[in-house]
Chain A
């Protein structure tokens, strides 16, 4: 009997380790042969720990499982969900980037290859650098870290730069609240990131790569490090990548708790060992990045999507999506939701569908008041914007941003003034200090929101003006995008900003 118990952080936070230990103990007590595989998460967090049991006739899913359920689980009498693929939340998805996450043993390279892994890298190894870059361009892939910049164009800039050394840097500093796709992928299918980075290396002529993972993700760090060691031992990384005669190797680096290091230039400074302050652009990192060399800086999901593009072809990937948003979006449904987790689907589903149908509304059972899309720098979308399709341009037109595609749901008890104040406070705490609109503006923003709360009638106009300055004058997205949550809260939920004033009148 083979039993799958996720090693994913969310599953662990909900008791997966105790369940795995109980299964081992019970199996030993009964003297039955049970192999426990610690897989990644299938992404249905409300069912975690989600345990799958394979008795030789396919995998049957159970969850949430507690240690007390283990005797019934091994007896086969515990009530389950059937196959994971038949659970509606899973069945509705289009899994490309996450095709293997939760399915395979994360650090077993043979298991990875048996499920389509390395096919993309082998294909890329037979292509020239420009051909590889052209394939990525044709797929329509855009940066999944938030900015949505076309990946192929970024790669082309690095590919065409003349330099002795070039680098691939993976931004795994996933600090945005409501996002966990990077973490899940690194914990559940680390080889797809390694494969994506190797393809990027072959494409642009870089021989060295770094994954910069935030220190808040100890499980992801451990799994990635092990996977890199396995990949090196098996010749996926090293002087002769899958027998191509071309070299690429990589290393895992750990951040130190600074949110701003998720910004690419700040990340590069941090990787170099400096304070994580933002650099002015130009020069672009593609031309002068890590240690002044041409550098591809891509998010985990962007790079981990590259293998499937090469495995199935750019046209296959490009066929999914909406307008200029091609392929799939990895929605992370979070906050106050009934069914939270990772939902990969073609771009184009509406926000309302994701929140009401997929997530099933709030966990508290109260009406949804707002959904913050795209992390702490994303706008609070009110219910009357729920018809907005999930696409880069569509969200932009609706006054928001899709960012890393995290959806944080709030019920009607949420206080939007408090959330707007928190956004400014967070910006003040995490500002790198380099530019004035962000460093000083965020502090003044907190004070101005306090004035609104105290009933100062002139403060709202001042806040609007301040937000304009921050938006136009900040060096990076921290100061530049903090106005999104603040102004969306003020614009869409004016009642929350008027209570104190009316009470005073």
Chain B
């Protein structure tokens, strides 16, 4: 994930690019996270000012959604599906193995900053589970070796 260091100018430019939309908040937040890998604290007052909202309202939105992170993720992000269809084909055992191998818990990042692991509730790969996603790469009938190899690639 390409990560630039946030400046108020780039944040304002991103906000300006989207504010004409109906309901611009989520498109703005997605664009900011894509640019910086997170929603930096200084983005909150900038968005609030541009959209004529309170800072608390903007913070409320950022914190409501699982996708938006306030701290940067590791260089690679592993998402493992924990939903029912994947549970039916052994996702729990897969998760345990991957977590143990990385030595972290859900939402954790390895000490070297290489990998973050997140739970996900359904990737729509319910007929070929257990399902995983490493950054944008989808893995069906996943096993721990395959997931870890992809994250190390």
Contacts and interface: CB of A to CB of B under 8 A. Distances in A.
Contacts of A315: none
Contacts of A372: 84
A9 B125 contact: yes
A10 B25 CA distance: 31
B85 to A, nearest CB: 4
A405 to B, nearest CB: 12
Nearest to B28: A273
Interface string A233-256: 000000000000000000101111
A219 B121 CA distance: 17
Interface in B69-114: 83-89
Contact of B61 (A14, A175, A274): A274
Contacts of A217: 124
Contacts of B23: 253, 271-273, 290-291
B151 to A, nearest CB: 15
B140 A13 contact: yes
A464 interface: no
A13 B25 contact: no
A180 B140 CA distance: 14
A149 to B, nearest CB: 23
Nearest to A376: B84
Given A253-B27, A274-B25, A408-B88, A179 B121 contact: no
Nearest to B21: A251
B68 interface: yes
A interface, size bucket: 35 or more
A183 interface: yes
A6 interface: no
B84 A179 contact: no
Contacts of B121: 175, 177, 259, 376, 426, 430
* Among B24, B27, B51, B66, residue most surrounded by chain A Cβ atoms (within 10 Å): B66
Interface in B22-73: 22-27, 29-30, 51, 60-61, 64-68
A177 B86 contact: yes
Nearest to B126: A334
A178 B24 CA distance: 31
Interface residues of B, number: 41
B9 interface: no
Contact of A177 (B61, B67, B83, B138): B83
A40 B44 CA distance: 40
B123 interface: yes
A432 B86 CA distance: 24
B128 A216 contact: no
Nearest to B51: A273
B125 A422 contact: no
B30 A254 contact: yes
Give the one of A10, A13, A336, A426 with max B CB within 10 A.
A13
Nearest to B68: A256
A45 interface: yes
A370 to B, nearest CB: 9
A337 B25 contact: no
A270 B125 contact: no
A174 interface: yes
A14 B26 CA distance: 31
Nearest to B25: A273
Contacts of B61: 273-275
B136 to A, nearest CB: 6
A215 interface: yes
Interface string A183-194: 100000000000
A258 B128 contact: no
A10 B142 CA distance: 12
B122 interface: yes
A410 B88 contact: yes
Interface in A464-499: none
Given A175-B121, A215-B67, A273-B25, A10 B88 contact: no
6 contacts: A178-B85, A256-B67, A257-B67, A271-B23, A332-B126, A335-B84
Interface of B: 21-27, 29-30, 51, 60-61, 64-68, 83-89, 120-129, 131, 133, 136, 138-141
